[in-house]
Each structure stands twice: as structure tokens, then as C-alpha cells.
Amino acid sequence: MVSTQQWVRWIGVVGMALAPVTTVYGAETRPELEAVSSTALPTSRLFGQSGVQSPSMITGVQIEQTENGINILLVAEGPLAPEPGRIEGNALILEIANATLDLADAATAEQFSPTQGIALVQVSDLSNGRVRVSITGTDGPPNVQANSQTNALILSVEPGEIPAEVPTNEAIQVVVTATRTETPLQDVPRSVTVIPREAIERQQQLTNNLPDILGTLVPGLGPPIRQNRIRNLSLRGRRPLILIDGVPQNPNSSFETELNVIDPASIERIEVVRGPSSLYGDGAAGGIINIITHSPSGDDAAYNVALGTGASLSNLQGDSLAYNVQLGAEDTRDNASIRLDFAYDANNSQYDARGNRIPAETGVIDTDSVGLTGKLRVDFTEEQRLNLGYGFYREALDTRFISDSAILAIPGLQTARALEVGPIDYDEPPRQINHVVNLTYQHDNVLGSRLDAQAYYHDLQLSQTFADIRPLNLPDFFPQLFQTNLDFSQWGTRLQLDTPLGNAANLLWGVDYSQESNHRPLLVSDPAAFDERLALNVVQVLDQTPPYDLNSLGLFGQLRWDITEQWQISGGIRYDNFNFSVDDYEIAFAEPPKARQGGSGNADDISFNAGVIYQPISEVSLFASFAQGFSIPDLGLALSLVDPGFDIDTDLFLSPQAVNQF
């Protein structure tokens, strides 16, 4: 059914003596489109002597341009009376009853772009005694005035506009990740998935684990894994770069918990770009997952509260019950707005389909988490604004169960088994604490360019649960009872300018810089103290990977040109330079001597991208693209595998792993 806003309107009035008829279709009636008189049509000519109307033969279609659009003239051997029309998308469709099509030149029945604002005029025979006239506009349905004459039908056509009741900012989805600026989705020559807040909330009814949510909602990403890691979550076979409001979350050497540093309750939407991206540099070889948190809406004070609970249906015991609490608040005063979100999740024990307890080694079992995000926005002027954001996330493991290490001694693939041992006394309890501070400044007119500046700081402290590898009977130089840890911090800055080049092109250019400190210490515990009283007393601290610093500098430029309303091309280049330094260190899992000599090194790389978009109609975009990406090898892992006497300064060749995508 056509809505009242779309319904075409008959303006002409049929007189008692079948006076000439003029009809207007399309938008609201305007004075210049009122009825125009024409020659009267005799009754016998309309209905025939026997009272039955003979089919009118349409023998010609003529189109001529007018000051406001076009006139379509349908030449016939008899009168033509169009029925009320209908709107489908950007097309106005009229049907003429008791008519057939017999054109001397069939090519006149279909004409593309006869004038600006009109994409197609098509006249077709429906083979049931009816003829259809379809007029398609480029921006919206056209306005048509029909004037019936003795042997012709004149359609006066004016291009239509986008209906006022459908705002363009709501009809067109805008993304920021793929191009680093706000860009309509149809203008991005990439495969992009946008997950809105509503989809995240639906998934939260089943799970609050972000890797599972993404594994369910993102085509091409690995399936849900019931873990807090991204080890099996790859985009087109490669690891993605994880961003939170544009701040990188991927340490060069990590435990792959980058998605487990924010509560889903704090997320407004997630943008996923598949394939490598040379706009962001290191780490985006597989694609980008940009998590965008709630921002102040600018409205008056508002609050929200949500409560949830869950349990393992195969074993409804008290320790399988889980619950969560979510709170949100925002307020606006004068030119400042603030938004706060808080979430607490208690994920207790879980059981498999047979009712057996699952060991708490996944990061989502017997784990409590607290998440807090806040954003402050200050609008200095209409052109200048400052945003300050802070994110905190903490999760901690609290369990009386461990994974039975006796399983390791059984040949073949075995199912993990939970073993109750009671409270474990940790010197360093298993937990993860993540801090992100993000400051952005925007100025819409700096010498005609838009300026975006960002400074950020990211700190991550992670201590995993202990590992007991004594049943493996490894050589004595291997630590037998230990905890792995991660000590990571990074600060960085981004600066970019979006410079218009005339009315149809723009150049995005800028610089990125970051400095990362990375260390994975290994806490070795006393086996005798653990066997006697379940105490993990740390007796030695070794280096699973050495402490090192990694600095990166990137320069980029990206050009976009709208050749026509239908064709667009884009392309860019990025240069990256990396250097690292490492002090002398000892390798935990190496045969003596464990000592290694430190050193430094550097590398650089250049990457390109190019794309072309063709839009045959506004609702469809066809694109082709080429993109390059790269990733720096895990320096911590590489430096933990070198032999004694290895000289980092001369023997280590650091080369980014490059990826091409067509």
C-alpha cells in the first residue's frame, strides 16, 4: 500500500460533458501546475457507438526539454486516459488502460537521462491491453502533470527532490573507520560492517562476552569461541587491528585479549573494515575493528538502568548463577556535555551439556568484571570542540577449581577436567586491568581545512592463572610452576588535515606517532609450597619475553575525487618507520646460559591503496579496490628464541609482513 505522503494526487476535474482533463502526479500541487484547458473529447469518440471503448494505438513517443524539465508526448490514434499513478522508490509509474504500443521506432520507448534530475523514461506494453509509463528521478520521484488531448497525452515532468520527511543524515549511514573521517557508507570502496547498539543489546541477552558477540554478528570473522581471546577470531585469515575510539589496543607482544578490555554496555556501535588498511599502519593486515563508545547526546539529564541474570541449564546450582548491572547517565550544561557508563558482571561457574563443570581457563568463567567509561565534550564555538574520554576495565578470576594437569599425561586428545583444590593463595592474583585516556580536538576551519588532533595513553597490566607443567616431565631448566604476565603501556598522537581541492576533491594528510613499552615477565613459584598449602609463592622472576621499547612514525596522504555524481576515485600512500631497543635479558625457557645481549634495530615500509566507485543509482554502489597492509613481527617472541651470542644490532633483520588485497 502506498502511504499518504507518497500517494499521487488527481488535480483535474472531469466535467459532466467529459470536459478536457488535466492531472498532476507527484508532490503537493503548486500554482504553476494547475489544470490547463484542452480540446473537449466527444462522448462517441470515447465509448464508441456500441458503448465499448476501442483500444487506442500509441504510435509515437517524443521527448522535448522545457525550462523546468521535459515534456513527454504520447501520440495515439485515439484518446488516452491514465489511471492514478504510484510511486516505487524514485520512480513514478502511470498505467494507461485500453491502449497498445505500436511504435515505428522502438528506441524511443526507452531514453536514459533525457535531462538533469531524470534518470530514465520507459514506455512498455503490458500485453493485457495496458501501457505503462515509468519515469525515474535521480534524487526523488518526479512531479508529473498529465494533459489529455484528442489524439495525444502530454506528460509535463519536473525533477523531484528528496522528501523533506526523510532527513538525509538518517537515510545515509556514516562511518569513520575506513577513511579516518566521517564518510557516507556508499562512498567507501571497502567491505564494511556496522553493528549498531540494538544488535549488541540483543546479543547481550545471551552472552556478555564481546568476542562471542562479534563472532556471531560479523560475517567473515571466526565463530564464537567462549573465550576472552581473539586467537581464533581472524578477518579473512589474518588478525585485525582493534581500536577503541581510534586508540590502538594491540600490543606488539600480547596474550590476544584485545577484545576483553571493555564492557559491551559501554559500546554505541562497532565498525568492522575487512582487509588490510594502509591508513592505520602496523597491525591492520587483516582489517580493523573499531569499537565506538557512547557519547553525550547533547540532551538534558538522562539515566538508564539494566539488570540481567543467567545460569547453566544443565546444572542449576547456586554457583552457576550469573548476574550483571548496567548504569548510564548523561547531562548537558551550556556548552559542555558529559556521559558516564558503569557495568558490573559476575560470571560464575559453567557446565557442559552433560552437566560437567568446565575448568575456569577461558577468561569468562568464575570471573568478575567492572567497566567504567566517561566522555566530556566542550564546544568552544560552532567550529571548535574538545573531547576527553576515559575507559577503565578490570576483570579478576576467583575460583576453587583448576584444570586437572593429570590430563596432560594421557595420550591423545582429551577433554579438560575440573579439579577442586580450594582457595589458591596467589602472590599476584589472576586479573587484567586496562586504562585508556583519549583527548581529541577538532577545528572545522583551519585555513580552509578540517583539523583533527588526538593524543592518547593506554596501559594494560595482565596476570594469568598459574600453569603446572610437572606432569610433562620436561628438562629441569624449564620452570615447572609459573604465571605469565604482561606489562604494557603506550602513548601516541595522531594529527590529520582534510583539505578541499575545489568542489569535487579533497586531500586527507597527516602524521601518526606512538611509543610502546612491552614486557612479559614470568613469575616462578615454589612447587613444595603449592603442594603443601596451595600457596603460589613467587621465588624467581624471569623474562618470558624481554622488556623492549618500540617507536613508530607514520606519514600518509589520501586523495578522493568525485569525477561525476556517479563516479568516484580515491587513492593514497603511507610511509612508516619503526625502531626498537632492548636491554640485556634472561630467557625463561632457554637452556643455560639464559643470558642474552640487548641491542636495537629499525625498519621502514611503504603501502598504497586505490579504489573506484560507480553508483548507477543512489541506492547502489559498485566498487573495486586495491589495498596494502603490514604488521611488525612479535619482537618479544622473536627475541626469546635467539641463541647465546646473538647480536641484535647486526644479526636481527626486521621486515614488516606485507599483504596485498584486490
Q: Are residues 383 and 451 in contact, defined by beta-carbon separation less than 8 angstroms?
A: no
Task: Decide: pTM greater than 0.95.
Answer: no
Question: What single string gives the DSSP state of each residue in 32-62?
Answer: GGS--------HHHHH-TTS-PPPEEEEEEE
- Amino acid at site 133: V
The enclosing domain of 357 has a CATH number of 2.40.170.20
- How would residue 292 be classed by pLDDT, with cut points 50, 70 and 90? very high
Q: What's the pLDDT tens digit per position in 107-122?
A: 888 888 899 889 889 9
- How would residue 602 be classed by pLDDT, with cut points 50, 70 and 90? very high
- Amino acid at site 586: E
Cβ atoms within 10 Å, residue 264: 24
Residue 518 C-alpha from the chain's centroid: 29
Question: What whole-number distance in Å separates Cα of residue 115 and Cα of residue 152?
Answer: 22
Is the same domain home to 493 and 601? yes
In 126-185, where do the E strands start and end?
A: 130-137, 143-149, 152-158, 174-175, 183-184
Whether 137 shows a pLDDT value over 50: the answer reads yes
Is the same domain home to 257 and 298? no
Q: 48: domain range?
A: 22-158
CA distances from 241 to 52, 282, 289 (A): 73, 8, 6
Is the same domain home to 244 and 296? no
Residue 266 lies in a domain: yes
- Among 264, 291, 318, give the residue marking a domain's end: 291
**287-301 burial: b if 16+ Cβ within 10 Å, else e:** bbbbbbbbebeeeee
Question: What whole-number distance in Å separates Cα of residue 256 and Cα of residue 230?
Answer: 6
CA atoms within 13 A on the CB side of 557: 4
Whether 166 shows a pLDDT value over 70: the answer reads no
Q: Averaged over 345-368, what is the pLDDT? A: 84
- Biggest CA–CA distance in the chain, Å, is 115
Question: What whole-number distance in Å separates Cα of residue 40 and Cα of residue 17?
Answer: 9
Question: What whole-number distance in Å separates Cα of residue 521 and Cα of residue 493?
Answer: 28
Is the same domain home to 241 and 352? no
Inter-helix orientation angle 197-204/210-217, to 10°: 120
Is the same domain home to 521 and 584? yes
* H and E: helices and strands count for the chain: 7, 39
Q: What's the pLDDT tens digit per position in 603-612?
A: 998 999 999 9
Is the same domain home to 279 and 309? no
Q: Averaged over 185-202, what is the pLDDT? A: 91
CA distances from 426 to 107, 405, 525 (A): 84, 18, 10
- What pLDDT score does 256 carry? 85
Residue 51 lies in a domain: yes
Q: Which residues contact 648 (CB under 8 A, 6 or more apart)?
A: 582, 597, 598, 599, 600, 601, 639, 642
Q: Which residues contact 3 (CB under 8 A, 6 or more apart)?
A: none
Query: Going by DSSP bridges, is the β-strand pair 56-65/99-101 parallel, antiparallel, or unpaired?
Result: parallel
Q: Are residues 74 and 109 in contact, defined by beta-carbon separation less than 8 angstroms?
A: no
The number of distinct structural domains making up the chain is 3
CA distances from 46 to 61, 364, 562 (A): 22, 79, 53
CA distances from 425 to 133, 324, 510, 533 (A): 82, 27, 51, 8
Is the same domain home to 298 and 279? no
Cβ atoms within 10 Å, residue 322: 21
User: Would you give the DSSP letter of residue 264?
Assistant: G
- Among 158, 192, 222, give the residue marking a domain's end: 158
Among 429, 133, 427, 492, smallest CA distance to 280 is for 492
- What pLDDT score does 402 carry? 83
Q: What's the pLDDT tens digit per position in 194-244?
A: 999 999 999 988 888 898 899 889 988 877 777 777 776 788 778 889 999
Question: What single string gives the DSSP state of each residue in 507-555?
Answer: EEEEEEEEEEEEEEEEEEE-HHHHHHH-EE-EEEEEEEEEEEEEEEEEE
Residue 318 lies in a domain: yes
C-alpha cell at 341: 557508563
- How would residue 23 be classed by pLDDT, with cut points 50, 70 and 90? low
- Among 291, 324, 343, give the residue marking a domain's end: 291
CA distances from 536 to 394, 423, 428, 525, 577 (A): 22, 11, 8, 6, 43
Q: What's the pLDDT tens digit per position in 245-261?
A: 999 999 998 888 888 89
Q: Would you call 64 exposed, middle or buried from its count of C-beta atoms within 10 A (0-12, 13-18, 19+)? A: exposed
Question: What whole-number distance in Å separates Cα of residue 376 and Cα of residue 304?
Answer: 18
Q: Are residues 93 and 85 in contact, defined by beta-carbon separation less than 8 angstroms?
A: yes
- What pLDDT score does 404 carry? 84
Question: What whole-number distance in Å separates Cα of residue 263 and Cα of residue 285?
Answer: 26
Question: What whole-number distance in Å separates Cα of residue 548 and Cα of residue 254?
Answer: 13
Residue 11 lies in a domain: no
According to DSSP, the residues that pair with 658 across neighbouring strands are: 630
Q: Vertex 115, ends 109 and 121: CA angle to 5°?
A: 25
Residue scoring higher pLDDT (167 or 536): 536
**% of residues, the chain, pLDDT over 90:** 44
Among 181, 213, 180, 221, smallest CA distance to 197 is for 213
The enclosing domain of 223 has a CATH number of 2.170.130.10
Among 428, 432, 426, smallest CA distance to 461 is for 432
Q: Are residues 583 and 632 in contact, defined by beta-carbon separation less than 8 angstroms?
A: no
Tell me the backbone φ, ψ of residue 393, rounded to 5 degrees.
-145, 130
Is the same domain home to 412 and 484? yes
- Residues constituting the chain: 662
- How would residue 162 be classed by pLDDT, with cut points 50, 70 and 90? low
Task: Name the helix (H) or strand (E) containing 530.
Answer: helix 527-533
Whether 7 shows a pLDDT value over 60: the answer reads no
Is the same domain home to 198 and 150? no
Query: Going by DSSP bridges, is the β-strand pair 287-293/241-244 parallel, antiparallel, or unpaired?
Result: parallel
Is the same domain home to 188 and 117? no
Is the same domain home to 208 and 153? no
Question: What whole-number distance in Å separates Cα of residue 611 and Cα of residue 662?
Answer: 10
Question: What whole-number distance in Å separates Cα of residue 362 and Cα of residue 228?
Answer: 6
Task: Name the helix (H) or strand (E) containing 325.
Answer: strand 322-333
User: Would you give the DSSP letter of residue 194?
Assistant: E
Residue 3 lies in a domain: no
Residue 14 lies in a domain: no
- How would residue 33 be classed by pLDDT, with cut points 50, 70 and 90? very low
Whether 165 shows a pLDDT value over 90: the answer reads no
Residue 6 lies in a domain: no
Residue 167 lies in a domain: no
- How would residue 52 be classed by pLDDT, with cut points 50, 70 and 90? very low
Q: Averaged over 605-633, what is the pLDDT? A: 91
- What pLDDT score does 35 carry? 32
Is the same domain home to 183 and 154? no
- What pLDDT score does 31 carry? 33
The enclosing domain of 29 has a CATH number of 2.60.40.3500
- How would residue 543 be classed by pLDDT, with cut points 50, 70 and 90? very high
Mean pLDDT computed over every residue of the chain: 85
Cβ atoms within 10 Å, residue 16: 5
Among 35, 9, 28, smallest CA distance to 160 is for 28
Cβ atoms within 10 Å, residue 330: 22
Tell me the H-state helices in 35-182.
Answer: 43-47, 168-171
Q: Are residues 379 and 407 in contact, defined by beta-carbon separation less than 8 angstroms?
A: no
Whether 13 shows a pLDDT value over 60: the answer reads no
- How would residue 24 be classed by pLDDT, with cut points 50, 70 and 90? low
